[in-house]
Amino acid sequence: MPETEKIALLIDCDNVSHNSIEGVLEELAKYGMVNVRHAHGDWNSPSLSGWITKLHPNAIRPMQQFAYTKGKNATDSAMIIDAMDLLHSKTVDAFALMTSDSDFTPLVLRILESGMPVYGFGERKTPQPFVDACSLFIFTENLALEREEKADAPPAQANKKSKNELRQDTALVKLLRTAAEQTAEDDGWSSLGRVGSYISNNSSFSSINYGYKKLGDLIRASELFHIEMRKDGVVMYIRDNRK
């Protein structure tokens, strides 16, 4: 059995809501064990009161950073130092950064250069450079566990895009079609597994950002491809429906 990937989750509490932390941890569980959980911020600040209630239930360690100078974000520097210490400790296999601040983009690039993936989580206001730099990026609004959500509408489905909305997203359509084309076998069909791997290696795409838990569900909804279930109906294969 392969070893479980060890993930370090670093949270910029000044720039991201506490409402989605459970969803973030559930998502990261798909990739490995989150053995480091550090929440950075000035814990004397009333604005972090919501985060305080989330620390113990989710086994998150608060990292205190005083605001020494007004207008300067000392939390960013402390979080970067923490990340570099962990990187050189060789005790983790991947990083997850929960922030909406594009100032962490150089940190993402540095971690990627070391051969480790970076999973990004931030609000929809997150600047595109940070989103694009991450190995995978998910908007926290899609993971938020709000009390106001309807019981029959899970967060991942609340913002589900329709077929027309998916097709009008030209960047998404190009990404899906390119992935299918580049991974096609001699018969013109591509396995969903290879399509997913190609997308992961080339972008920060996540089907969750479109309201679908799985890539296969999004592809079905888009109706951009012919679909065949092979190997006793277990493996999905797709082919561009323009062909």
pLDDT band at 182 (very low <50, low <70, confident <90, very high): very high
Write down the pLDDT at residue 51: 96
What are residue 10's phi and psi, to 5 degrees? -115, 125
What confidence tens digit (pLDDT) does each residue in 20-47 have? Answer: 999 999 999 999 999 999 999 999 889 8
225 beta partners: 240
- Minimal CA–CA distance to 184: which of 133, 126, 237, 236? 237
Instruction: Choose between 73 and 92: higher pLDDT.
Output: 92
**Cα gap 67→86, rounded to integer Å:** 23
pTM confidence score: 0.84
**Mean pLDDT taken over the chain:** 89
Please, which residues have CB within 8 angstroms of residue 158's CB and are 6 or more apart in sequence? 142, 149, 211
